[in-house]
Amino acid sequence: MALLRPAKPASESTAPSEPVATPGVGVPPVSPARRAVLSPLAPQCYKVAFTAGQELLAKLREAQALLRHQIPDGALEQVFDRALDALLARLRKQKHAATAHSRPGRPYTKHARSPRLTNSRHIPAAVRRTVSARDDGRCAFVAGDGRR
């Protein structure tokens, strides 16, 4: 993957239809609802293309700079891989209560004073972990045709 660098000015561009990264100059308007492109290149290799805004571009450049000591060439593939690893770890912790070291749960009693334990839809973290492990993180409902 290439480094993120500002594009050449429109006068130096080799292809006349190539978009230029200078904001507002020579850039065709892009629909925000445009879908990302995922196309296979080889059995284990895919091309991922999407339109990014200025804020995302700034975040990518900052991530490349902060990771420069670990990823000297600033490869976008490695930057995105690390970012998605961190995001997935956080989401798994939120959704499935996945932790390296879990605390012992509180005993559930019908007469507990906490409304969180008596009349709510709160699911204890230990139960979420157990169900997520049992069902491989997928919905347990099985449709009539056998699909989950």
pLDDT tens digit sequence for 67-83:
999 999 999 999 999 99
Q: Taking a C-beta distance cutoff of 8 angstroms, is the pair 126, 97 a contact?
A: yes
User: In angstroms, how far is CA 40 from the centroid of its own chain?
Assistant: 20
**Three-state secondary structure readout of 23-91:** CCCCCCCCCCCCCCEEEEEECCEEEEECCCCHHHHHHHHHHHHHCCCCCCCCCHHHHHHHHHHHHHHHH
Is 98 strand, coil or helix?
A: coil
What are 96-107's pLDDT values in tens digits?
776 766 677 666
Residue 135 belongs to some domain of the structure: no
Taking only the tens place, the pLDDT of each residue in 123-134 is: 777 787 788 788
Does residue 3 surpass a pLDDT of 70? no
Within a domain: 67:
yes
Cα-flanking dihedrals φ and ψ of residue 84, to 5°?
A: -70, -35
Work out how many domains the chain is built from and give that number.
1
Q: Measuring CA to CA, which residue among 18, 20, 46, 51 is closest to residue 34?
A: 51
Q: What does the pLDDT look like over 111-125, one tens digit per residue?
A: 555 555 555 677 777
User: For position 63, what pLDDT does the model report?
Assistant: 94
Domain that residue 69 falls in: 34-101
Inter-axis angle of helices 125-134 and 76-96, to 10 degrees?
120
Helix (H) or strand (E) holding 131: helix 125-134
**Percentage of the chain exceeding pLDDT 90:** 30
In a domain, 70, yes or no: yes
Counted residue by residue, the chain has a size of: 148
Residue 2 is assigned to a structural domain of this protein:
no
Residue 88 lies in a domain: yes
Residue 93 domain-assigned (yes or no): yes
Q: Is residue 7 part of a domain?
A: no
Q: Is residue 21 part of a domain?
A: no
